[in-house]
Amino acid sequence: MTVDDVDAPAEPGPAPTGDDEVPRRARVLVAVVLVLLLVPGVVGFDLWPLTGWRLFSLSRDADQTRWVLLAVDAEGDRDVVSLEELPLGYRHAEWPMSELPGAGRARRDEVCQALLGAVVDARPGTTELVIARDHARLVEVDGEWVTKHDHEPFHSCEPAEVGR
């Protein structure tokens, strides 16, 4: 081996061919996916199932407020209706309920009647449906953590109102 061999530049390898480039279709696909994921987060709307920004942006602390349905029976007893008891189409009913404070009376009645039909099917003894805010607070009682609920009625409807 001579000094000239050590200082000599390496032999150039074969020139890159067009096969080494990423296909244009792959680049376009990646760009479209990035736009579908980022734009809803920046603009503030959800394109489910592509994004779930609201799922991760809600605060989680000892006080939580959410919308609930209260079924009222003939004796006037109120019981919280789990949305899991209702048909699959009603499982995310909390989202339309959260829009009711800015809605007019007609829209509130419309949403309430739609929910009432499903609740009556799930709980036949229901005489009234109350849409309420549930102010839940996590408190320690005798060394155990329990949730205290304070239901604030917002809107109600009865089966007899269907004919109005």
Average pLDDT over the chain, rounded to whole?
Answer: 81
pLDDT in tens, 115-128: 999 999 999 989 99
Domain ranges in the chain?
Answer: 1-58, 59-163
Q: How far apart are CA 54 and CA 34, in angstroms?
A: 18
Residue keyed to tokens 């229901």: 126
- Looking at residues 2-18, what average pLDDT do you find? 59
Q: Which helix (H) or strand (E) holds 115?
A: helix 105-122
SS3 130: strand
Q: What is the pLDDT of residue 161?
A: 46
> What is the rounded CA–CA span in Å between residue 61 and residue 88?
29
pLDDT, one tens digit per residue, over 91-100 is 888 888 888 8
Question: In 3-state terms, the chain is what percent helix, strand and coil (to 5)?
Answer: 45, 25, 30
